[in-house]
Amino acid sequence: MTQPAKIGKYEIQGVLGRGGMGAVYKGFDPAISRLVAIKTIAKSSLDEGELQHLLARFRHEAQAVGRLAHPRIVQIYDYGEDDELAYIVMELVHGKTLHEHLQQHANYDLREVGEIIRQLLDGLGHAHSAGVVHRDVKPSNTMINNDGQIKISDFGIAHTESSELTQHGDVLGTPHYMAPEQFLGLPIGVPADLYAVGVIAYDLLTGTKPFTGTTATVMQQVLNQRPADPSSLNPKLSPLMDQVLQRALAKKAEDRFQSAPEFAQAFRQAIEASLGTQPAPAAVAPPKDNLLNTMRILRSDLAAAAGVGAAPASTPDGAISLDQSVKKARLLVVDDEERILSALKSIFRMRYHVFATTDGNKALEFMKKYQMHVVISDQRMPIMPGVELLRQAREISPASVRILLTGYSDLASIVGSINDGEVYRFISKPWNNEELQQTVAEAVTIALELADAKAAQVDLPPKMSAGVLVIDNDQEIFRFTKELIGGRCPVSYANSLDTALEAMQAHEIAVVVADVEAGREDTTAMLKLLKQENPQILTIVLTTASDSELVIHLINEAQIFRFLNKPLNVKLLKQHVEAALARYLAFQQAPQLLQQHRVQASKEARESSVGQKVLARLKALRGRWFGSDKKA
């Protein structure tokens, strides 16, 4: 198969690998200047019966992983088909698989093995909490990037709670890593994934798999034999490690660990016992949630935030260097109600380091000392309002992702959280647990990816080619805007959806200033779709409406940059437009900062009559202008 020049909108730059049914290409997304990996299936390589089944699996992989947002899982960006190919566009991981490292005779010390398994279980735990079981966990599906971070890939035979692609009796997986129930064609759940992690851990610690031989031999051993204790093969291992891995490899699913966090905690204790850093606990089961355990967790979290106890990674010949300084993401939660703090800590404690306080001043002092990846703040608090906390948090730690969590829909406060705090999302109380976890996972992913990225300090040039588009009915806002900044950049006018789209196709637009009055659903739908398709364009919304729900939707689904009430404050309009132009230029210099402008996909907007009308025209703009601006 010859290498295509393009697949969909993606420019092909090389081949990453080939298989019997297709290839994986290195691609480039011109819309947001991002390198990607493109996994393909060549339709001509399969007969019709095989093709339809495999395409269903392929689409299922995109759907299963597309809803997962976690730094330990390879992200899915897009899915598409044409006459020749079906393809999944995913995150490009710069590194090798664990399988490749092992083939090159890499050796890992106990701390490194502990870190590999911790990260692997962290990613699987997130997938499991979202109802996705991988079912083919193995070293070749475990990527290690150049920073020593694990990325789980290839969810091609994953099972979701709503999936009907496989039925009772199907045998799926890779023999050495398959649990007994997989060989028997029984229903497969979380314990099967954890069994596979047990096999990987056993191999990393002992240099051999628990069962070896042909597929038939391995199956007989998996079903009938107990593997040798790991400590009999590696005397450095504590007997506690024997207990942990024998439980992970138990014949019956109900006898194994039932969750990734449970396995992770037990494995960490076994690694520490093997290192001689603490006495082995009497049992594998996690300690009860008593006061002593709570104090232990708090001490561990505080030490992690301060960077205490991060041992340097040893690097024996052939081994990668895992970044031991990388800890779980840190969440700072501020709310004046202890019950809310307790609930949030309970939800997130196993996956992240969670720091909670009722005092906004203490929260800010803490942020000055330690980097927080995500800040979640209530709004209506007696010591410090949430909007003020988020404003100062933005100044202290601009790379943190900020979320407003409140049941008090005060429009002025919500507007302040946008203009001063630049919140990523607004979450209403009472919250939906699944939606809350998904939103926080997305925020953590962005924060970890951008931890070292810094917004460029951009001085606005005297002249810019990228301009401002004003959408209003009576040209009043247009006249003000043109007078205020018309000497710096072009200012275009539109009084309808059609003229707005025509203006964006005719000229590079950096900023959209839109008057969103009640009843203008077409404009709000366009703003939502515009941010999904062209995240580099900044939007400033003006309205006389007092509908806080409208503003909340625009935060979550259109990621508006600034919000202005009418009658218009001309000074603020000038400040906001110039800030938006500067941010646009910063995006050009550091496109990765666009990650902070991800939005929730608005199904309603995409499927509405307005959405159908504008979507194709917006897609045509992607990559057409962005990156072309030069300072005069």
| DSSP element (H, E) containing 46 | none
DSSP code of residue 612: H
Q: How far apart are CA 570 and CA 482, in angstroms?
A: 12
Amino acid identity for residue 401 in this structure = V
The string over 558-585, giving b where at least 16 C-beta atoms fall within 10 Å of a residue's C-beta and e elsewhere, is bbbbbbbbeeeeeeebeebbbbbbbbbb
3-state DSSP assignment of residue 37: strand
Task: Select from 377, 449, 467, 428 the least CA-distant residue to 555.
Answer: 428
**Distances 26 to 23, 157, 482 between C-alpha atoms, Å:** 10, 23, 44
Given the residues 29, 136, 301, 515, the one annotated as active site: 136
For 631, half-sphere exposure in the C-beta direction (CA atoms, 13 angstrom radius) is 10
Q: How far apart are CA 154 and CA 152, in angstroms?
A: 7
Task: Select from 467, 456, 465, 489 the least CA-distant residue to 587.
Answer: 456
3-state DSSP assignment of residue 239: helix
**Distances 513 to 162, 321, 574, 620 between C-alpha atoms, Å:** 42, 49, 11, 21
Residue in the structure block whose two tokens are 């919250």: 431
Q: What is the DSSP string of 273-322?
A: HHHTSSPPPS-SSPPPSSHHHHHHHHHHHHHHHHTTT-PPPP--TT----
Q: How far apart are CA 448 and CA 498, in angstroms?
A: 39
Tell me if residue 410 is catalytic.
no
Q: How far apart are CA 10 and CA 595, in angstroms?
A: 19
- Interstrand relation of 509-515 and 353-357 (parallel, antiparallel or unpaired): unpaired
Q: At what angle do helices 239-248 and 260-275 cross, to 10 degrees?
A: 160
Q: What is the DSSP string of 324-380?
A: TT----EEEEE-S-HHHHHHHHHHHTTTSEEEEES-HHHHHHHHHHS--SEEEE-S-
Task: Decide if 211 contacts 176 (C-beta within 8 A).
Answer: yes
Q: How far apart are CA 192 and CA 126, in angstroms?
A: 15
**Distances 539 to 4, 213, 577, 583 between C-alpha atoms, Å:** 36, 61, 9, 11
Q: How far apart are CA 449 and CA 593, in angstroms?
A: 10
401 DSSP β-pair partners: 374
List, by residue number, the catalytic residues. 136
